Amino acid sequence: MTLIIMISALLLLLALRVPVVIALLVPSLSYVIFEPTANIATAAQQMASGVNNFALLAVPLFILLGGLANDSGISERLYNSGVAWIGHIRGSLGYVNIGTSFGFSWMSGAAIADAAAMGRVQVPAMVKRGYSRSFSLGVTGASSLIAPLLPPSIPAIIYAVTAGVSVGALFVAGVIPALVLVATLCLMVWVQTRGREELRLPKAGWGERGRTLLGSLPAAGAAVVVLGGILSGIFTPTEASGIGVIYLLVLGLVYRAFTWKSLYRTLLSTVETTGSVLMIVASAALFGWTLARERAPQLAADMILSFTDNPFVFLLLVNILLLIIGAVLEPTAAILILVPVLAPIAVTFGVDPIHFAVMMIFNLLIGLLTPPVGLVLFVLSSVTGAPVQEVIKGVLPFFFPMLLVLVLLSLIPTLSLWLPGVLGFI
Amino acid sequence: MTSAILTPDQPDELEKASRVVSALVTTERVVATIALVVTLVLILLQVTSRYIFNAPLGWTEQTARFTLVWLTFVSGGFVMARRGHIAVDLMVDRLGLKSKRVVNGFSILTVLIASAIMTLASVQLALATMGLKLPAAGIPVSLLYLAVTVGFLLIFVHGVLSTVFDLRHRKKPTLETVDGETGAA
């Protein structure tokens, strides 16, 4: 009964536009006030210990890393290099768009940042070369999901901390799924640009290719520093985020890409994003604690088990639930609210925790592109000046490849588990 | 959506109108930015002490986590100054202006009550843990919980300030989220 009241209160408050932090806080606070065995000071303690966590230190630092990567002009360099190498292929700018996202994703863990950076530069460039604006917006939006799937990934850190799995393992587990996503998105670009012979650029010379490749090599350096460090076990993901920030600071100084003003702005927007995300982490920790105290995961598991004991049916149900929730809730918030309940149930169904995590993260990421609350749609609309409806129209065809990837990730655990297994993370 | 997206270093209407608010927000920005930089330095210190000096420091991790808690709650206050906390706009967007005002009034009232209670709860906890210290870093535990107090106090203060400002200026409905500045997905 307590649980039903608490969850209904949460949903009602969310619907009434109460910020997620407070919407999670109110039922939990009521619980500690009215429950005789709980103490109100516990609320503050649970919130503080929710963020007093070494793995979470990587959140602000990876956000900062993405911001610095953005300022350093790396995405423009990747773009130029891509155009020089494959510009003459039909539909090349579509592939370059995906490729740039892929390259940028090794330094960025948030789809929003990726969509803002790529949308500002590439959508106008594509439109200028004869691509329709809705297609350009669609490919930019869909490929922005690569960033939070490929390490470093902010949702993966949040998930790992909430579910108690290894951040490193979850990072590595996202690599193959990200490649699958890249492949299916490229296929979609191929389908959509078939027969459009005008979508070719003049072939670039080898001098141009060499020069631009050299210019974009430092981007690969960042990936080597961050991922190489994590994979080889030299750094923890948190330490790698710090090293990555220093690498990009030095790189930006060499490129002369930073000004004091831009640095301060990047620091401030990092602080702002960190504040809104980690405050939710803190109150979700408190909410999760009350749920666990009221045995919510066990009760939910019993309920689902009485309905089915087939893991595939379970995964199907979870996916449908998540697609609905992802449409209205931002992924990290959804992870924080749902993981404490869903992850233990997945274990009782014999689903590997890492496999479940990758599936769940990717599913919720799709929600970034679905109305009514699709943050990437709004970001793309605001940086390109296109109406949200046009962005939605452009993204629509890309739901095919994205849902295909979701099905593959759900049904084939190997896609998520093979690489971490080979590298000794699980 | 919002009419204009402010970058976080630009003053908003309320900061332009009041020097006290402007000073408060600037302090929050500076404290949170310093906490971020200190966190970075501590992490780097941890790596270098382990690999370069071959003598891992015991206190860096705990201190970094301590600064992260402060970073979180102080910037949580700063985000409130911009009404930037993530919220679900689904239902409210379809309402008329009057119902929107009612919903927003309810929303801000909830924020104020919850943050007032949290401020008190965290003060109580800080008092109860007086005298205890974090083992490795030697920082008083009360100081850790004081971050929660400061965070919710700031949320409360900014909530009151912006409500008063909006009522006086009768602007369009409040609690707009600035998409693109929030959310780290």
Q: Which of residues 164-183 of B touch A (CB under 8 A)?
A: 175, 179-183
Per-residue confidence (pLDDT) for residue B9, from 0 to 100: 72
Nearest to B125 among A19, A41, A111 (CB): A41
Q: Which candidate in B70, B75, B111, B129 is best for mutational testing of the A interface (most A CBs within 10 A)?
A: B75
ipTM score here? Answer: 0.86
The 10s digit of each residue's pLDDT in B67-88 is 999 999 999 988 888 777 877 7
- Per residue in A194-236, pLDDT tens? 888 888 888 888 988 999 888 888 888 888 888 888 888 888 8
Contact between chains at A268 and B114 (C-beta distance less than 8 A): no
Per-residue pLDDT of chain B (185 residues; tens, 9 = 90+): 333 455 677 777 777 777 888 889 889 999 999 999 999 999 999 888 888 777 778 888 899 999 999 999 999 988 888 777 877 776 677 788 888 888 889 999 999 999 999 999 999 999 999 888 888 888 999 999 999 999 999 999 999 998 888 888 765 544 444 443 333 44
The distance from CA A140 to its chain's CA centroid, rounded to whole angstroms, is: 15
Taking CB atoms and an 8 Å limit, are B40 and A64 in contact across chains?
yes
d(CA A335, CA A281): 10
State how far the Cα of B157 lies from the Cα of B147, in Å rounded to an integer.
15
Q: What is the largest CA-CA distance in chain A?
A: 76
* Under-70 pLDDT residues of chain A: none
How far is residue B154's CA from residue A273's CA, in Å, rounded to a whole number?
17
Q: How far is CA A97 from the centre of its chain?
A: 18
Q: Are B180 and A379 in contact (CB under 8 A)?
A: yes
Handedness of CA A375, A376, A382, A388 (dihedral sign): negative
Question: Is A272–B82 a contact, with Cβ atoms under 8 angstroms apart?
Answer: yes
Closest CA to B72 of A262, A375, A66, A57: A57
In angstroms, the CA A307 to CA A328 distance is 26
pLDDT at B182: 39
The residues, ordered by sequence, that sit 6+ positions from A254 with a Cβ below 8 Å of its Cβ are none
Coil, helix or strand for B55? coil
**Is B3 in the A-facing interface, judged by CB distances under 8 Å?**
no
A109's tokens: 């863990």
CB contact under 8 A, A275 and B125: no
What confidence score (pLDDT) does residue A258 get?
Answer: 87
In the prediction, which pLDDT does B170 show?
64
SS3 B140: strand
Q: What is the pLDDT of residue B171?
A: 52
